[in-house]
Amino acid sequence: MIDLKTKSAEHEKTVDRAIRRVKAMMMNWGFGEGCSFIYAVLITSREPLSAEEIGERTNYAYSSTINYLNTLIRMGLVERVRSIRKNLYVANVNFVERIKAEREKVKGYLNQLGAELEGIKDLEHLREKVERAIAYLKGVDRAEDKDTDNEVMED
């Protein structure tokens, strides 16, 4: 029989792993360690947290915690909600929108690079790779549009 302490410890390990994975994903997307860690803590929390609670969970000073939270708020990743005598913070969880935004950014960079490579004989091999990447992203867009159309038809 598993006691409550064991069950609680297992839950904490699972939450810690989820926090590490979300933090790593956010850092891969170019976010700093502080913002990534705080976002990961918020995204895995069942309820909104105060800055003090977030600071305790991350071991960040209150002032650093507030600075990171303000950055995340400006980016639209976190919302501040007023509670009795204090602010609470909650994560906006929309991975699909984040991925779409990153994909659009990459397509823009590839299109600019492709335009600059146009007609340069020595870099033709690179131009081919850029064109292949753009074609791949266009295929992803078409597949997404098709999925969206199917969802609308099902409703």
pLDDT of 77-91, one tens digit each?
999 998 888 999 999
> Of 93, 108, 138, which residue sits at a domain end?
93
Shortest CA distance to 72 belongs to which of 59, 55, 99, 91?
Answer: 91
Top pLDDT among 42 and 154 is at 42
Report if pTM > 0.85.
Answer: no
Indicate the average pLDDT of the chain. Answer: 87
Structural domains in the chain (count): 2
**Domain encompassing residue 63:** 4-93
The reported pLDDT for the residue numbered 51 is 96
The lowest-confidence range among 42-46, 86-90, 99-103 is 99-103
**Looking at the chain, how many residues does it have?**
155
Residue 11's pLDDT is 58
Same domain, 134 and 115: yes
Please compute Rg for the chain using Cα positions: 21
Q: Are residues 63 and 108 in the same domain?
A: no
Q: Assess whether 16 and 66 both reside in one domain.
A: yes
Q: Which domain-ending residue is among 64, 93, 122? A: 93
Which of the listed residues 50, 72, 93 is the one where a domain comes to its end?
93
Q: What is the pLDDT of residue 38?
A: 97
Indicate if the pLDDT at residue 4 is higher than 60. no
Residue 23 CB burial class (10 angstroms; 0-12, 13-18, ≥19): buried
pLDDT tens by residue, 103-153: 898 999 999 999 999 888 899 999 999 999 999 998 888 887 776 666 655
Model confidence at 3, pLDDT cuts 50, 70, 90, reads: low
What is the pLDDT averaged over residues 3-13?
63
Note whether 76 and 138 are same-domain residues. Answer: no
53: pLDDT strictly greater than 70: yes
| Predicted pLDDT of residue 148 | 62
Same domain, 34 and 104: no
